[in-house]
Structure 1
Amino acid sequence: MRTRIALIATLAGALLAGGVAMVRSGAEGPRDTSAALPASTIQAVVDGRSVEWWRSADAPSRWTASLPALAAAVRWRDSSAAISWGELSLEGMGEAKHIRVILARVDPRRAALRLAGARADFPPLEARWTIADAPDDALLALNAGQFDVGGAWGWVVRDGRELQGARPAPLAPAVVVDAEGRVAIVAAAHIDSVRRAGRVREAFQSYPALLVGGEVPAPLRAAGRGVDVAHRDARLALGTLPDGRVLVALTRFEGLGGALELLPFGLTTPEMAALMGALGCRDAVLLDGGVSGQLAIHGARGERREWPGLRRVPLGLIATPIAER
């Protein structure tokens, strides 16, 4: 209780001081003012108190560390397990007035990430997979990258075998699991070199990149650069933390007490980039959100929590426990 009171006092104090110091403690400029982002703010909700931590008019171009006040507002569970998970309440603007964020942290040394829903000998052409299809031993399950009417979009590697080639797009990185189980988000320009190295165990491509080495890509920092920076939607993102862990974030609309959580209302792409940066990610990418976004977590005490989507997808991503040596 004292910890929560101290946190509220810290957040309130920062707000009274203008809130800027709180944002800049984990971010740096210069700010991009060439074409303004649509006006928006995001507030963290802690014990009924709302504190602004991001605003589009002062959006950082680079994140150098997590934002302590926001990170402390996450209600983490199973923090010492291979998969820990938590929740965060946010208040934004418009359809994002009440947003819940479900977070999962994966330690790749203790849980192996691999693709699901695609046969290792056949391209993933049909959208048939949901989190309900995840195996019983899956600690985590979610939908993977973007897809179109032809199936999974872009590069796909399953069990070391390439099922589809990469698609050229500057903001379409690949999530790569190497032969040792380490996870990296590889920029589109470097996919070919990683592919030729021949140490890829699993890979899929998605769009757009949210963070590249902590930097918010230029198309996400201003309007009119090829990315819709105003559209609001339910979001699903994956990022990598400096210690090698993976962070997954799924947003849900909390209107009417959560009764409408499957409505595709949520954050903008720049707001999602800010969220991943403020939670400490160095690299991050959007996965397919909207009505496709889905997540399941198998807790350390045996409980299973599910946030289903409304649409089947060609590819899922699961994490299964690695046996202790």
Structure 2
Amino acid sequence: MPGSFDVPPLTLGSDPSARRRWIFRLVLMMTVFTLFLMAVGSATRVMDAGLACPDWPLCFGTLVPPMDLQIFLEWFHRLLATSLGLMAIALAALSMAWRQALPAWVPYAAAAALGLVTLQGILGGLTVTALLRFDIVTAHLGTGLLFFCLLTAITVGLAPFRGTGCARWLRLAAAIATLCVYGQSLLGGLVSSQWAVQQCLYGDRLCGVLSSHLMGVVPATLSVLGVVIVAWRSPALAPLLRHLSFSLLPLVALQVALGWSTLQLKLQVPALTVAHQLIGATLLGVLVAIATLAWRDGLPQTLRSPAPFPEG
């Protein structure tokens, strides 16, 4: 169907189309894996398990320590992060080795992803050795979100897409909304890393940090609604762009509802807090996908859609 992804089953091969399929599937898997990793990281944070392993990179000086729930969360988070780092190395190596079969930007993007995941690993170690210092924890979150956004952009940039050349204003609206939601996510990271909700509700401290996150809901929500309105008023928009834009409505509604619920319940339900952060990351990823597709929609017809993935 025009405007949709149509990727047949992955097969081995040495021809350019087979290599593009391998890279596309690898980066798609990494994108989903990163979202899951962020959910586990959020659970580690809200369960107060960030220092369950007091040393780094080992845990109690061993690869597999005796487990309780908190130790498992921190250990499992590190295991997932290490696995993702190995995938990033593979992506960078394959992108360089197969660069003749890929768009010219892919090896550079893969190298940037490897750089970000390396920085993320360093920051992850510092969060332990610096005893969860709030600025390092927030930087850890911000870098992880940037890595997730880059993987999303690579995935969408490689996927077959048939545009209509009518996404000029959507491109601008999606870029603005992406920046607003990313900034709001960082404010949420500051609230989480400083336990600002508890500090404000029970000690009348850090209420300014909490208020900044609450006020940030307004520009973030309005900018997302702006994307939906632009898509609605663009009748010739590619179907995939239209569907992604309209999916923002339930996502932003759910995100606001989860945020309100976590605040009303004073963060006493960890699952709600994890869901709030997970939906926020998903919302950001969808915005990045829209912005990337809208940018591709503005390219000349010969560059707008890469060659399809043939069977075989």
TM range (shorter): under 0.3
Based on CA coordinates, which of the two structures has the bigger radius of gyration? 2
Give the structure with the larger helix fraction: 2
* Larger relative strand fraction: 1
> Higher relative contact order at CA 8 Å, sep ≥6: structure 1 or structure 2?
2
